[in-house]
Every structure is written in structure tokens, then in C-alpha cells.
Amino acid sequence: MGKIDEYVATHSLKPADALYHTNRTVDGTGKIRVLATKDNIARVEYTCPKCSHDDYVEEPWKRPFSVKCSKCSYRIAVPKLKQQFKREMKKAP
Ligand SMILES: [Zn+2]
């Protein structure tokens, strides 16, 4: 079970308790999941698109949000929905 799922389960977190929650692909091969709670802490699970490193971090919540890969220091940013949408539209045949 992922750290975020674990957190949600232990604290019986309801959708209303989250400021922000997203689960995205990053640069095709990476992944980022962010859960920001009302204490202004963002809990982040990611797979680095550069080195495939998986990790979990907690950081102060702010927007735009990004985390640094703990292995290769690549900055993984949460793509803005609109930008990602445009990119995916471009990729579609
Ligand atoms: Zn990395």
C-alpha cells in the first residue's frame, strides 16, 4: 500500500479534508501523486521520469508545486491541467 493510501486510511481522511489531491504522469514515464491536507502539508509519492527512483516526501504545500528527486535532483513539477491536456491532445492521432 502506498504511503498516501496509508495516511488516508489511518486518519480516515474524507475528500473534504484535502485541499488538493492529484495523481499525474510526468514527462511520459514519471508519476506524481500529491495530497495536500488542511495543515498545509503536501504528501507526495513520485516516480522520477529521469532515473525511475520511487520516493515519498512531505513538504509545505504551495502552488505551483514541485519536488526534487532525492536521487538525481531532477525537479518534478505537477503539470498544470491545461498544459497536460494540450500536450495529450497533440499526441493523439
Ligand atoms: Zn531522479
Tens of pLDDT, residue by residue over 16-58, are 899 999 999 999 999 999 999 999 999 999 999 999 999 999 9
Q: Are 44 and 34 in contact (CB under 8 A)?
A: yes
From residue 24, how far is each of 12, 39, 74 by CA, in Å?
23, 23, 17
Grid cell digits, residue 6: 496509508
Q: Are 42 and 26 in contact (CB under 8 A)?
A: no
Average pLDDT over residues 13-18: 91
How many angstroms does the Cα of residue 93 sit away from the middle of ligand 1? 30
Grid cell digits, residue 57: 516526501
How many angstroms does the Cα of residue 14 sit away from the middle of ligand 1? 31
Average pLDDT, the chain: 91
Query: pLDDT at position 49, please?
Result: 97
The predicted model scores a pTM of 0.84
Q: Are 56 and 44 in contact (CB under 8 A)?
A: yes
How many angstroms does the Cα of residue 9 sit away from the middle of ligand 1? 28
Q: How confident is the model at residue 1 (pLDDT cuts 50, 70, 90)?
A: low
Query: pLDDT at position 5, please?
Result: 95
The answer, yes or no, to whether residue 84 has pLDDT greater than 70, is no
Q: Are 33 and 8 in contact (CB under 8 A)?
A: no
How many angstroms does the Cα of residue 12 sit away from the middle of ligand 1? 32
How many angstroms does the Cα of residue 31 sit away from the middle of ligand 1? 11
Q: Where are the beta strands (DSSP E) in 12-78?
A: 18-26, 30-37, 41-47, 54-60, 66-68, 75-77
Average pLDDT over residues 5-17: 93
Is residue 26 helix, strand or coil?
strand
How many angstroms does the Cα of residue 73 sit away from the middle of ligand 1? 6
How many angstroms does the Cα of residue 30 sit away from the middle of ligand 1? 9
